[in-house]
């Protein structure tokens, strides 16, 4: 009720300000927009799922003060295709065999990895949701390096130098493929037999819907398309031998605009072993302003870079449709990174409005990528914090409280999904984005996104008496606001994301 009253007050204040501004000074700090929806014209049937990724770090461990809250937040999202990535900065949390087998003994260990993975799977796969597992870091002893690669004894100590080498010790790829087959068997088949024939029992039988083969291979280990495709084939074959129902995601490219040849090569079935499935491809995008830019410029940079990325998606889609039209697409890292938000530390505090700006950009990309027919649109990432990209976090890393980025994802996930009809929608200003939907149940909804920091008043025919759910700087980390509209005008705060459900 309080949120509705505040919403009403904000609505009245904005309309009064707009009326007072008529005929007054031309530079008023407010956007007025008109949105038109042709409810009889369907432009696409959605097949897009909104979701997120969870990257392993110490704050997800069971002794973390935010552990319980974060996994409860994850469970309450109810997302499919959630990506889980034990990643290189914490070798003991990501690599299950840190030392090579020798003299009849192996170094397989899961005491640190299991709690993270099991808690994730219990919050997702055990609830009936599909997951995308990606143990992205290959044990470094499997690469040729000048000397053995050391790793910290402390599992919580960050180490950005663990990943080294570009040449594999086993050119047949069997060593790496067997490593991943054993990981899958550990979590899906109750255990595995190691290199010396010893059985290791886990007791786990989780469904693994998708396995993504490595992460950002154009950057990590600097793999060529030819090398990566050979490795992909070997891993897929080995995993299929223990988990025939698992499907696969390939590439996970960091810079998809840099090398279109990677898509040309990987998506061509002729470059793979016979019967190797190309179920899904993935790639990433992060908006990032330059260090010299004032914060007032960030909105223009974020949305301009997002539009540039959408051009890249158009191009990649043309390649995919030509070479592998049945292959699906998971853009599984979408977000923003501030220029002073380095991997090592956080130089400056993150301004409050940033979380709403980043959430608005994700909502914009979700809507545009849905129109392009992308299958999965994943926000990055559940928990970031100083030493691991704090501006990418969806929660407060000290309390676990979700921020606006989390609530925007939940708003989109709870209102839109595969089967929705996307309706022809027009708007008369670049400061606002709008998209009409008709759900499979026949409900008419309009997604409104304010791309600017200034407030806006949007004229939407039929909105009087409608219900709206919204995330703005007032709701912030508190949740999703609700209100009932009293006219055909919708008041939006800066960087607000709103779903209007028409009567």
Categorise residue 28: left if φ over 0, alpha if ψ from -120 to 50, beta otherwise: beta
Instruction: Count the Cβ atoms, other than its own, within 10 Å of residue 54.
Output: 25
The Cα–Cα gap between 211 and 244 comes to: 12
| 472: three-class secondary structure by DSSP | coil
Does residue 22 register a pLDDT over 50? no
284 touches 315 (CB < 8 A)? no
Cis peptide before 485 (omega within 30 of 0): no
Does residue 315 register a pLDDT over 60? yes
Does residue 456 register a pLDDT over 70? yes
Does residue 11 register a pLDDT over 70? no
Kindly list the strands in the beta sheet with 432-438, ordered across the sheet, starting from the edge strand earlier in the chain: 481-484, 467-471, 497-501, 444-450, 432-438, 421-427, 31-45, 456-460, 489-492
Rounded to 5 degrees, φ, ψ at 465 are 85, 0
The Cα–Cα gap between 108 and 97 comes to: 5
pLDDT: which is higher, 180 or 349:
180
Q: Give the pLDDT band of residue 21 (cuts 50, 70, 90).
A: very low
Does residue 248 register a pLDDT over 50? yes
Q: Please name the residue ranges forming H helices in 82-211.
A: 91-94, 113-123, 174-188
| 336: three-class secondary structure by DSSP | strand
pTM recorded for the entire structure: 0.93
Cis peptide before 312 (omega within 30 of 0): no
447 touches 22 (CB < 8 A)? no
Q: At a CB cut-off of 8 Å and minimum separation 6, what does 491 contact?
A: 7, 10, 11, 14, 15, 455, 456, 457, 458
Does residue 328 register a pLDDT over 60? yes
According to the model, what pLDDT value does residue 388 have?
86
Does residue 60 register a pLDDT over 50? yes
Strand-strand pairing, 467-471 and 481-484: antiparallel
| 231: three-class secondary structure by DSSP | helix
The Cα–Cα gap between 270 and 292 comes to: 47
The Cα–Cα gap between 473 and 158 comes to: 33
> What share of the chain in percent tops pLDDT 90?
89
Give me the half-sphere count of Cα atoms (radius 13 Å) on the Cβ side of residue 142.
21
Mean pLDDT of the region 103-119: 97
| 411: three-class secondary structure by DSSP | helix
Interval 208-238: pLDDT, tens: 999 999 999 998 888 999 999 999 999 999 9
| 102: three-class secondary structure by DSSP | strand
| 41: three-class secondary structure by DSSP | strand
Reported in sequence order, the residue ranges of 209-348 that DSSP labels E, i.e. its strands, are: 210-212, 247-253, 280-287, 328-336
According to the model, what pLDDT value does residue 349 have?
86
The Cα–Cα gap between 36 and 426 comes to: 5
According to the model, what pLDDT value does residue 342 have?
72
- Measure CA of the first residue to CA of the last residue in the chain; give whole Å: 20
Rounded to 5 degrees, φ, ψ at 60 are -95, -5
Q: How far is CA 207 from CA 59, 126, 192, 353, 389, in A?
A: 25, 8, 16, 39, 30
According to the model, what pLDDT value does residue 20 have?
38
- Structural domains of the chain ordered from first start: 2-45+422-501 (2.60.40.1180), 49-418 (3.20.20.80)
475 touches 407 (CB < 8 A)? yes
According to the model, what pLDDT value does residue 23 have?
37
The Cα–Cα gap between 487 and 402 comes to: 31
Take residue 461 and report the two structure tokens written for it: 């025919």
| 272: three-class secondary structure by DSSP | coil
126 touches 77 (CB < 8 A)? no
Q: How far is CA 18 from CA 31, 451, 490, 499, in A?
A: 9, 19, 13, 23
Which position has the token pair 């040729």?
Answer: 144
Mean pLDDT over the full length of the chain: 93
Mean pLDDT of the region 84-102: 96
- Burial status of residue 114 (CB atoms within 10 A of its CB: 0-12, 13-18, 19 or more): middle
Does residue 166 register a pLDDT over 80? yes
């Amino acid at each position: 009720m309080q949120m509705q009253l505040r919403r009403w007050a904000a609505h009245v204040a904005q309309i009064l300000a707009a009326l007072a501004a008529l005929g007054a000074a031309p530079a008023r700090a407010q956007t007025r927009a008109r949105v038109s929806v042709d409810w009889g014209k369907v432009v696409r049937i959605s097949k897009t799922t909104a979701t997120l990724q969870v990257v392993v770090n110490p704050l997800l461990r069971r002794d973390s003060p935010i552990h319980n809250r974060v996994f409860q937040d994850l469970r309450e999202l109810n997302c499919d295709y959630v990506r889980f990535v034990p990643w290189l900065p914490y070798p003991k949390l990501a690599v299950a065999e840190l030392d090579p087998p020798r003299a009849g003994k192996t170094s397989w260990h899961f005491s640190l990895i299991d709690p993270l993975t099991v808690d994730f799977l219990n919050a997702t796969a055990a609830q009936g949701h599909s997951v995308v597992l990606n143990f992205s870091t290959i044990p470094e002893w499997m690469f040729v390096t000048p000397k053995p690669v050391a790793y910290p004894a402390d599992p919580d100590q960050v180490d950005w130098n663990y990943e080294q080498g570009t040449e594999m010790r086993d050119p047949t790829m069997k060593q790496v493929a067997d490593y991943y087959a054993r990981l899958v068997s550990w979590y899906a088949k109750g255990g595995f037999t190691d290199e010396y024939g010893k059985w290791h029992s886990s007791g786990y039988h989780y469904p693994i819907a998708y396995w993504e083969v490595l992460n950002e291979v154009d950057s990590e280990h600097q793999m060529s398309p030819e090398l990566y495709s050979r490795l992909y084939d070997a891993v897929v074959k080995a995993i299929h031998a223990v988990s025939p129902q698992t499907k696969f995601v390939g590439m996970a490219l960091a810079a998809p605009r840099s090398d279109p040849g990677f898509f040309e090569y990987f998506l061509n079935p002729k470059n793979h072993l016979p019967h190797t499935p190309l179920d899904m491809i993935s790639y990433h995008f992060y908006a990032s302003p330059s260090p010299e830019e004032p914060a007032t410029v960030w909105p223009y940079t974020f949305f301009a870079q997002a539009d540039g990325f959408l051009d890249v998606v158009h191009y990649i889609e043309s390649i995919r449709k030509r070479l592998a039209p049945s292959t699906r697409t998971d853009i599984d890292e979408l977000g923003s990174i501030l220029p002073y938000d380095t991997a090592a530390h956080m130089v400056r505090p993150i301004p409050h409005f940033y979380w709403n700006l980043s959430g608005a950009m994700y909502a914009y990309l979700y809507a545009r990528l849905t129109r392009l027919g992308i299958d999965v649109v994943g926000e990055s990432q559940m928990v970031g914090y100083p030493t691991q990209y704090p501006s990418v976090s969806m929660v407060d890393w000290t309390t676990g409280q979700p921020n606006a980025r989390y609530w925007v994802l939940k708003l989109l996930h709870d209102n839109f999904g595969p089967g929705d009809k996307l309706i022809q929608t027009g708007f008369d200003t670049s400061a606002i984005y709008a998209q009409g939907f008709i759900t499979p149940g026949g409900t008419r909804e309009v997604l409104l996104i304010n791309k600017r920091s200034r407030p806006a008043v949007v004229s939407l025919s039929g909105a009087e008496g409608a219900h709206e759910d919204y995330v703005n700087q007032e709701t912030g980390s508190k949740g999703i606001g609700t209100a009932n509209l009293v006219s055909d005008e919708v008041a939006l705060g800066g960087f607000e994301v709103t779903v209007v459900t028409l009567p």
